[in-house]
Amino acid sequence: MSQNLLSYVEDFNRGDVDTLLGIFGSMGTIIKVFQKRDILKLIDPFSVNLEDYQLELLDAMLNVLNDKEMMKKTISLLSDVAIKEDGYYLKLSDRTDLCKLFNGSGGRNLSTRDVVGYALDDDIREHFSDTTDDIYRDVIEELNPVNIERLKQHILDVLTDWKIEVDNDSPDLFRNYADDEGIFYVTPENVGDVIGDEVSFWYLIDNDYLTDFLSELYNVHSNAYNQAYESEVYEMIMNELETFFDTKSNKWVSEQYLPEELLTEYYYLKFNPNEIQNSIKKYVGDRDRWGSYDTAIDYVGNWMGIMDMLMEDGDENWLNFRIPEYPDSRLVDKYINELFTDYI
């Protein structure tokens, strides 16, 4: 290497760029000369003296020269990226940060970002209240055979040997099963008919034979309805996140770096192959960001920050999905049967 070239490199690394600009005319020309003479590898784009030129230098090193070692160094500077044997992982202490990847415009209504933030929060949120106006139709008629048997046993346990006097206001079913003294008993033989007859079922509830039973049924439906909605939204979120990640890899990991430290939980998502490299290349290749230290990779500091800037500028699309107005009824029925044993 000639003495002139060596002095150029030394001047450049010291941040004495004006001298070289006087010789070559522009930063682009300086970089092309360094590329042609194979001395660009001697430049440290992360030097504090070159922070205003970092992205332009990285564009040449990563997008033109495809310098794999420089790419590894660049990735290593991102605080939310974990490097493991099987690839790169996004590492978050708060899973709700993922909402920043989603569309934040919602007008008067909740945005997709808002909904994602709520869905990924560990706190229980009631999205809907007053979820049914017909508990018989929406809960009793949706019970599977196992839960019907459980309901039968519950009614038998509560009304063991309970005498129900039959009168003109009593359901026809009660009159049909009444004994000679006009008394109706709930028995293993007729309890299924009682449950299957809506009039008889409501008669037991309205006349306080099944204390607190109605409120428990409303709890079953409300929780099933809200849980179904959250599950549906969660699936939509994961489907959208597949744009960047292998969502099947998601997991919480407890880590402790020093013996005196408490365990800290981190949420991990594995990046899709080449995803993080491609996003970095796209970021450093955007000329609108060149020439400013506050857009430098090590200033932004993390992959989420890089993606936020790409999305704000329209270089990446925000993740988005149609927010459902209500949950799928089949999913509600599924959760009704799963939750029923918690209440009855």
Six-digit token pair at 79?
């605080």
Q: How far is CA 48 from its chain centroid?
A: 37
- Comparing C-alpha atoms, which of 213, 174, 211 is closest to residue 191? 174
> Starting from the edge strand earliest in sequence, which strands make up the sheet with 81-84, in order?
81-84, 87-92, 264-271, 245-255
Nearest to 42 by CA among 3, 74, 2, 6: 6
The Cα 144–Cα 337 span in angstroms is 7
Report how many helices (DSSP H) and strands (DSSP E) the chain contains, helices first.
16, 6
The residues facing 255 across adjacent strands are 264
81 has which bridge partners? Answer: 90
**Amino acid making up residue 247:** T
Give CA angle at 299 (297, 302), nearest 5°. 60
Helix 275-284 vs helix 303-312: angle between axes, to the nearest 10 degrees?
A: 60
How many alpha carbons lie under 13 Å from residue 88 in its C-beta half-sphere?
Answer: 22
Cβ-contact 307, 241 below 8 angstroms: no
Q: With CA atoms as reference, report the closest residue to 135 among 120, 151, 117.
A: 151
**What SS3 state is found at 12?**
helix
Report whether 310 contacts 94 (CB < 8 A): no
Residue 189 pLDDT: 94
Nearest partner of 302 among 103, 75, 100, judged by Cα: 75
In the chain, where do the E strands start and end?
Answer: 81-84, 87-92, 164-165, 183-184, 245-255, 264-271
How far apart are the C-alpha atoms of 3 and 63, rounded to whole Å? 29
Q: Please report the pLDDT score of residue 30 as a whole number.
A: 86
- pLDDT in tens for each of the 344 residues of the chain? 566 777 778 888 888 888 888 888 888 888 888 888 888 888 899 988 888 899 999 999 999 999 999 999 999 999 999 999 999 999 999 999 999 999 988 766 789 999 999 899 877 677 888 999 999 999 999 999 999 999 999 999 999 888 999 998 899 999 999 888 899 999 999 999 999 999 999 999 999 998 889 999 999 999 999 999 999 999 999 999 999 999 999 999 998 777 777 888 999 999 999 999 999 999 999 988 888 889 999 999 999 999 999 999 999 999 999 999 999 999 999 999 999 999 98
Q: Give the number of residues written for the chain.
A: 344
| 18-27 burial: b if 16+ Cβ within 10 Å, else e | eebeeebeeb
How far is the C-alpha of 256 from the C-alpha of 275, rounded, in Å? Answer: 28
- pLDDT for the residue 3: 65
CA proximity to 12, closest of 1, 41, 36: 41
**Alpha-carbon span 188 to 177, nearest angstrom:** 12
Contact 33, 24 (CB under 8 A): yes
End-to-end Cα, the chain, rounded Å? 84
Return the domain boundaries, the chain: 3-82+275-312
